[in-house]
């Protein structure tokens, strides 16, 4: 199967890695860039880097983001000179941002820069930013409107969330390769990323959501037992007036989905989520090891293959 995965954050990167272990070049990962911002004069692409580092085997295994074997001399120097150190940049990671920024200033688009980086890191799957156009995520809170990294890192997700805005998304164009990958895909996998700030920004870009409507789309819940493994998705659901649950995640994506995957912990919700238009798979979704990632990916792909086969059988009848 040709598969397109929509991803952002650590959970999305882990499942993308599992899928890549099985699919290699038959996988395209479309990554959220709503988190991207400028800091210390550098262009930072947190989700894109987390996905790429993970696929390349370079990610910090303890934090899930940043580089392994990292040092922090540069940011320590910044702090000692009175500069902003609230966004922690490692020395190896900073090299990525330096070269990305240099290339952007030369006029290279983000998608081309990402291709070059992936080639250098030995990544076989195709990784694409959702768009080359800036589409910053703005978090609406009880303390006013905050750029995503200000809310997420500087304010530590403390402000109460009241909504989101994806600036410029309606005018943005999907990055080259994204429309073709979606059109040619047999299966779309929505990774266990934050629905509000990792997946919604992708869906908001230009024609991406509309292009997914005729496809077979499976989402994996990032919420297990009412909590997120990492990040503020559960807090966001609650503050926006929803329960923090796998069922709420399925409801958030609504009619976009053909299939939904939830953890065994939430197995009692299977009947509440299943419908004539939505198939449900209950399996182990916690990814603690690379083997866990590959097993979940295999489960998702088998689930997708079954849904596709059932569709063909119904058409033939």
Per-residue pLDDT, 51: 98
Structure-derived torsion over alpha carbons of residues 200, 204, 207, 213, reported in degrees to the nearest 10: 40
Share of the chain above pLDDT 70, in %: 100
Per-residue pLDDT of 254-287, as tens digits, reads: 999 999 999 999 999 999 999 878 999 999 999 9
What are the angstrom distances between the C-alpha of 83 and each of 73, 87, 155? 14, 11, 17
CB 128 within 8 A of CB 31: yes
> Rounded CA gap, 140 and 127, in Å?
30
| Residue 127 CB neighbour total at 10 angstroms | 26
Closest CA relative to residue 67, chosen from 44, 90, 41, 101: 90
pLDDT > 70? residue 75: yes
Report residue 317's pLDDT band, with 50, 70 and 90 as the boundaries. low
Which two three-digit tokens encode residue 162?
A: 């009241």
Predicted local distance difference test score (pLDDT) of residue 260: 98
- Give residue-wise pLDDT tens across range 102-111: 999 999 999 9
Chain segment 148-188, per-residue pLDDT in tens: 999 999 999 999 999 999 999 989 999 999 999 999 999 99
* Whole-angstrom distance, CA of residue 69 vs CA of residue 91: 10
Question: 216 with 185: CB under 8 angstroms?
Answer: no
Q: Is the pLDDT of residue 134 over 80?
A: yes
Write down all domains in the chain, each with its CATH number in brackets.
Answer: 1-317 (3.40.50.10680)
- Name the one residue in this structure whose structure tokens are 């164009």: 173
On the question of pLDDT at 38 being above 90, the answer is yes
State the DSSP string of 148-216: HHIIIIISTT-SPEEEEEETTTTT--BPTTHHHHHHH-SEEEE-SS-IIIIIHHHHHSTTHHHHHTTS-
């Amino acid at each position: 199967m040709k598969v397109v995965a929509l991803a952002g954050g650590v959970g999305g990167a882990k499942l993308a890695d599992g899928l890549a272990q099985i699919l290699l070049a038959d996988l395209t990962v479309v990554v959220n860039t709503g988190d991207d911002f400028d800091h210390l004069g550098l262009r930072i692409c947190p989700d894109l880097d987390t996905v790429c580092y993970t696929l390349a085997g370079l990610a910090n295994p303890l934090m899930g983001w940043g580089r392994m074997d990292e040092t922090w001399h540069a940011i320590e120097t910044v702090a000692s000179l009175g500069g902003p150190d609230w966004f922690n940049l490692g020395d190896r990671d900073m090299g990525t941002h330096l070269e990305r920024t240099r290339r952007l200033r030369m006029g290279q688009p983000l998608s081309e820069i990402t291709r070059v980086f992936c080639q250098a890191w030995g990544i076989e799957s195709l990784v694409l930013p959702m768009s080359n156009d800036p589409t910053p995520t703005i978090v609406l809170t009880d303390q006013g409107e905050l750029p995503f990294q200000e809310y997420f890192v500087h304010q530590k997700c403390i402000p109460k969330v009241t909504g989101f805005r994806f600036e410029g998304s309606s005018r943005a164009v999907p990055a080259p390769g994204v429309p073709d990958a979606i059109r040619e895909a047999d299966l779309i996998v929505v990774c266990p990323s934050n629905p509000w700030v990792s997946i919604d920004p992708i869906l908001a870009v230009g024609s991406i959501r509309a292009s997914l409507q005729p496809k077979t789309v499976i989402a994996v819940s990032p919420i297990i037992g009412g909590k997120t493994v990492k990040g503020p998705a559960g807090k966001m659901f609650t503050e926006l007036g929803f329960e923090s649950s796998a069922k709420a995640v399925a409801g958030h994506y609504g009619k976009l989905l053909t299939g939904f995957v939830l953890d065994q912990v939430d197995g009692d919700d299977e009947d509440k989520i299943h419908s004539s238009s939505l198939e449900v798979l209950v399996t182990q979704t916690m990814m603690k090891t690379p083997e866990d990632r590959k097993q979940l990916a295999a489960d998702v792909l088998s689930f997708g293959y079954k849904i596709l086969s059932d569709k063909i059988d119904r058409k033939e009848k």
